[in-house]
Amino acid sequence: MALDKPYQDIPGTIIFDAEQSRKGYWLNQFCMSLMKAENRTRFKADQRAYLNEWPMSEDQRQAVIDMDLNRAMQLGGNIYFLAKIGATHGLSFQQMAGSMTGMSETEYRAMMVSGGRSAEGNRKIGEDGDAQAHRQPQGHAGKKD
């Protein structure tokens, strides 16, 4: 019998469960290596060479180089692990989280200061909130000229 995963109907959200964890094992372990200053230096000097030392998929390596955190999460990354890459590049958690919405840093920060994103319309896939797939990317990037 299949496991109950009620969290799969939430828009714009990937829950890091055992299945994701298995997919992302090496991607996340690579991230852990960035907790050492000498590894951060080596990674920044030649990202591609450093990533090639890890048995990750090519898609995972590319997502790291592109700093495409949504893609990295789809491929099994977990945000607390991926945050080590952000820290290596000098990015705050807010900059990282914001980058996943398509909003600019200024737009995302303004949303947070005005009280954050509402849960209205964002509880289940199929509603009409700003986190739903049909409303991406958010902010100026999503405006049609």
Partner 1 sequence: MAKITASVFTSHVPAIGAAMDLGKTQEDYWKPLFAGYEYSKQWMKDNKPDVIILVFNDHATAFSLDMIPTFAIGTAAEYTPADEGFGPRPVPKVQGHPDLAAHIAHSVIQQDFDLTIVNKMDVDHGLTVPLSLMCGEKGPVKDSWPCPVIPFAVNVVQYPVPSGQRCFNLGKAIRKAVESYDEDLNVHIWGTGGMSHQLQGARAGLINREWDNAWLDKMIADPAACAATPHIDYVREAGSEGIELVMWLIARGAMSDVPYDATDLIAARAHSVSVKHRFYHVPASNTAVGHLILENN
Instruction: Please provide residue 67's backbone torsions phi and psi, each rounded to the nearest 5 degrees.
Output: 50, 40
Alpha-carbon distance 68 to 70, whole Å? 6
Q: Does 75 bind partner 1 (CB under 8 A)?
A: no
Give least dist CB 52 to partner 1, A. Answer: 20
Q: Does 115 bind partner 1 (CB under 8 A)?
A: yes
Stretch that binds partner 1, among 19-27, 45-53, 56-64 (CB under 8 A): 19-27
Q: 46: which residues sit within 8 A by CB, 6+ positions away?
A: none
Give least dist CB 70 to partner 1, A. Answer: 6
- Note whether 76 and 14 are within 8 A (CB): no
- Note whether 47 and 56 are within 8 A (CB): no
Alpha-carbon distance 58 to 30, whole Å? 14
Q: Does 35 bind partner 1 (CB under 8 A)?
A: yes
Q: Does 53 bind partner 1 (CB under 8 A)?
A: no
Q: How many CB atoms lie within 10 A of CB 73?
A: 20
Query: How many residues bind partner 1, per CB under 8 A?
Result: 63
Alpha-carbon distance 75 to 63, whole Å? 9
Site string for partner 1, 80-109 (x = CB under 8 A): xx-xxxxxx-x-xxx-xxx-xxx-----x-
Q: Does 37 bind partner 1 (CB under 8 A)?
A: yes
Interface with partner 1 (CB under 8 A): 6-7, 10-18, 21, 24-25, 28-29, 31-32, 34-37, 40, 69-70, 73, 78-81, 83-88, 90, 92-94, 96-98, 100-102, 108, 111-113, 115-119, 122-124, 131-133, 136, 138
